[in-house]
Structure 1
Amino acid sequence: MKHIRITLAITAAIIITAASCASCKSTKKTADEAMTDSAALVGPEFNADSAFNFVAMQCSFGPRTMNSKAHDRCEEWIAKQFEKYGMKVERQRADLKGYDGTTLKSCNIIARYNPDAAKRIVICSHWDSRPWADNDLDKNNWHKPVMGANDGASGVGVMLELARLLQNDSTLSLGIDFVCFDAEDWGTPEWADKASDSDSWALGAQYWATHLPEGYQPAYGILLDMVGGQNAKFYQEGISKTYAQDVVNKVWGAAHSIGYADYFPMTDGTMVNDDHVPLNEKAGIPTIDIIPYYPDCAQSTFGPTWHTVYDDMEHIDINTLKAVGQVMVQVIYTETGEQ
């Protein structure tokens, strides 16, 4: 993914966000900032080495581009891993149309922890990779596929490690739905002979958000996107703040309480078109996006490897995986099962 996005539903927030983005150093503090390092770590230790291996295993299949053998093999592996950790797994298949009319054989992988729990949250990421490295500095790479170690595999790697940690836990009354969205990264390429269409992105998430079981209403959602990059910092994304400010406060407060303030600054980022948009706008699930922002990166504010052939395992930082994973553990283990 991703592109900066503006919709009518968030017009009122544009002026505020634009002002904050005008200067990379402008910040917006919240009361949670005062909580830095004040709370004890709860829950198990997140094993970043294990998460790293999960990322590497996905990449071992090759780029998980739509309709490819690597995509099919990785789908099978992800589903079996969640099943191995005791999750109830569903594969939501659909034929979706790409920006160019290509039929995309899509499969959202849904893994449920504690499926009978009344209160549920959604933790999600996309698992496909981009077919075109259209942001690469070398034009000769623009039609080459992206490995997607960070943009795709990192979020799934964190979710799989969370599932592994939860497999034998009987203390939580909370239910968690891990959702791996497909067909996220078939959005209009920069070299296409047509204008970019925001609806060409996040196709799997759009489908999931409009095909929910009757009565399904999780308390909130957290999207993990590009959570393994080097020198990553996770600013507070604008659409997340518009639809789910309480969840933003919860996650960034948790990060500051356990010593990860450097990774989660109390600073506004941009508005990003990502999988959380249909969850908020179509499903009515307040959902945030944990996504990096590089305000000083000339190549892309999503970082130097975004949509390039260099989005590979050599550019995954185990410390970033650790920070995001441990924050997610903190959020999960400070929740209760009460609606």
Structure 2
Amino acid sequence: MSFLSNSLFFKKLPVALAIMIGAYGCNSNTGSEQTAEQAPPALVKSADFNADSAFQFVQKQVDFGPRVPGTSQHKACGDYLVASLKKYGLEVSEQIFKDTTFDGKILNGRNIIGSFNPKAAKRILLAAHWDSRPFSDQDSIVKNKPVLAANDGASGVGILLEVARTLSVQSAKPEIGVDIIFFDLEDWGSSESEQTKMEHGGFCLGSQYWAANKHIPNYTAYFGILLDMAGAKGATFFKEAYSLQLASDVVRQVWTTASRLGYSNYFIDEAGPGIIDDHVPVNQVGHIPMIDIIHTRPNNLSKTFFDQWHTSHDTMENIDPKTLKAVGQTLVQVLYQEAQDQPL
């Protein structure tokens, strides 16, 4: 999926620089722009995010093998995700759907939705994709081998499972609704735009389906946060351009929270490339302002993403509990701030 285009890259590929700069310049308010009179509220006391537990959730997914749709490993991992969400007290529903990939395969998709505090009126949507790419097209040697997808998929899911566990074990649970969606059929798209005329290059099929067919009629959320490639060593999360364009206030809140927690070395206060990812249909079709926390390196056009992206080397040895902690603790803090109506 790493190719240049006159307009944008497909899925996890940067939009034109003009869009990136325009979105950042017009819509973003960084923490450095806060005046003394406009100082954000204090951090409320939140639960502690356990990075070691999150790491084990990532490991468990990888232990199933590549979670390629249509395989027994995919089904087994999906069953595990459902059971885990139920174990932590979330109300679980599933969306079973069919879709056709860019290369003509008709597949069964399975979006998995877990709802914490389902009767709460104010809801925050958290999401990640749980499927694995069926081929290692960015590998220098083995291009037809399925990707194990420790970072590009499993890391975001592992963080969200730990968020679910964290919320469930609190004696005083936050008074807010949280919906966790694991999108399926995200990563079976074309890495070359000329190969397909499908929407979003054939990526993000599960989120496109959900955005047009929500699990609850007229469902909405205050805002949403998508995680993708969220666990690598030394990860850098720049402010993704579509997120800045479509949900700049959410970007500001999340990056400000991360900075105040001491994670500014991960959450970089700079505009990054625009990525066609699951948050785009959620914004454009689902009409929910959702941002993307995704590992990018915008100053390196030859390697926009982490080194092992879409290769056979996307394995557990590249996952760092410190990165999982930075992302997970930021999410938990955002939820607790919102629960007390004290967004940063």
TM-score, normalisation: structure 1: 0.89
* Aligned position for 2:31: 32
Alpha carbons of structure 1 residues 111 and 187: separation in structure 2 relative to 1, 3 Å: same
Q: Distance in 2 between matches of 1:145 and 1:300?
A: 20
Using the TM superposition, give the Cα deviation of residue 194 of structure 1 relative to its aligned residue in structure 2, in angstroms: 2.2
Give the unaligned 5+ runs of structure 2. 10-14
* Aligned position for 1:88: 91
| 1:262 counterpart = 2:265 | yes
* Aligned position for 2:133: 130
Alpha carbons of structure 1 residues 20 and 120: separation in structure 2 relative to 1, 3 Å: closer
Alpha carbons of structure 1 residues 245 and 296: separation in structure 2 relative to 1, 3 Å: closer
Q: Distance in 1 between matches of 2:220 and 2:44?
A: 29
Using the TM superposition, give the Cα deviation of residue 137 of structure 1 relative to its aligned residue in structure 2, in angstroms: 2.1
Q: 1:59-107, CA deviations, whole angstroms, 9 ceiling, x for partnerless residues? A: 0000000100100000000110010000001111001111122111110
* Aligned position for 2:81: 78
TM-score, normalisation: structure 2: 0.87
Q: Distance in 2 between matches of 1:94 and 1:59?
A: 24
* Aligned position for 1:116: 119
* Aligned position for 1:151: 152
* Aligned position for 2:177: 175
Aligned length: 326
Structure 1: 4+ residue segments shifted above 6 A: 1-5, 34-38
Q: Are the counterparts in 2 of residues 300 and 306 from structure 1 also a CA contact under 8 Å?
A: no
Q: CA RMSD in A?
A: 2.8
Q: Are the counterparts in 1 of residues 44 and 336 from structure 2 also a CA contact under 8 Å?
A: no
Q: Are the counterparts in 2 of residues 126 and 184 from structure 1 also a CA contact under 8 Å?
A: yes
* Aligned position for 1:202: 204
Q: Are the counterparts in 2 of residues 147 and 312 from structure 1 also a CA contact under 8 Å?
A: yes
| 1:17 counterpart = 2:20 | yes
Q: Distance in 1 between matches of 2:299 and 2:140?
A: 17
Alpha carbons of structure 1 residues 294 and 258: separation in structure 2 relative to 1, 3 Å: same
Q: 1:225-277, CA deviations, whole angstroms, 9 ceiling, x for partnerless residues? A: 01001221100000001110010011001001111111111100001000001
Structure 2 counterpart SS, 1:235: strand
Q: Distance in 2 between matches of 1:89 and 1:185?
A: 23
Structure 1 counterpart SS, 2:181: strand
Q: 1:302-324, CA deviations, whole angstroms, 9 ceiling, x for partnerless residues? A: 11011001100011111110100
Superposed, 1:198-277 pairs within 5 Å as: 198-212=200-214, 213-277=216-280
Using the TM superposition, give the Cα deviation of residue 292 of structure 1 relative to its aligned residue in structure 2, in angstroms: 0.9
- Percentage of matched positions with identical amino acids: 42
